[in-house]
Structure 1
């Protein structure tokens, strides 16, 4: 689970950085930032619930 969490967090950062450079696809990339952040939050919540 922790590997998937790092995966989604890294992809969110990458999409955010690219969105600042690629203004033509800025809004599409911002969508993917949100998607990856939501996936990371879901995984973090699952990790918390299994350790509690």
Structure 2
């Protein structure tokens, strides 16, 4: 019975850490999407205004 409680506690800790990792990845995914949208908007504004960087 004591070993079963230890196994359940270890599984609970692993699931807790995995859940936190997944939530942080979801947050970083949204941050990446927002940064991508901002970069596209800035690129479009520069392209439309004709201030593109030409070498």
TM range (shorter): 0.5 to 0.7
- Structure 1 unaligned spans of 5+: 1-22
Deviation at 1:30, TM superposition (A): 0.3
Count of aligned pairs between the two proteins: 30
Tell me the TM-score normalized by structure 2: 0.51
1:8-34: CA deviation from partner (whole Å, max 9, x where unpaired): xxxxxxxxxxxxxxx710011000010
- Structure 1 stretches of 4+ moved >4 Å: none
Quote the Cα distance in structure 1 between the aligned partners of 2:29 and 2:20. Answer: 14
Tell me the TM-score normalized by structure 1: 0.54
Residues 30-41 of structure 1: pairs in structure 2 closer than 5 A: 30-41=15-26
Deviation at 1:43, TM superposition (A): 0.4
Quick check: which one's helix share is greater? Answer: 1
The structure with the largest alpha-carbon Rg is 2
CA RMSD of aligned residues (A): 1.3
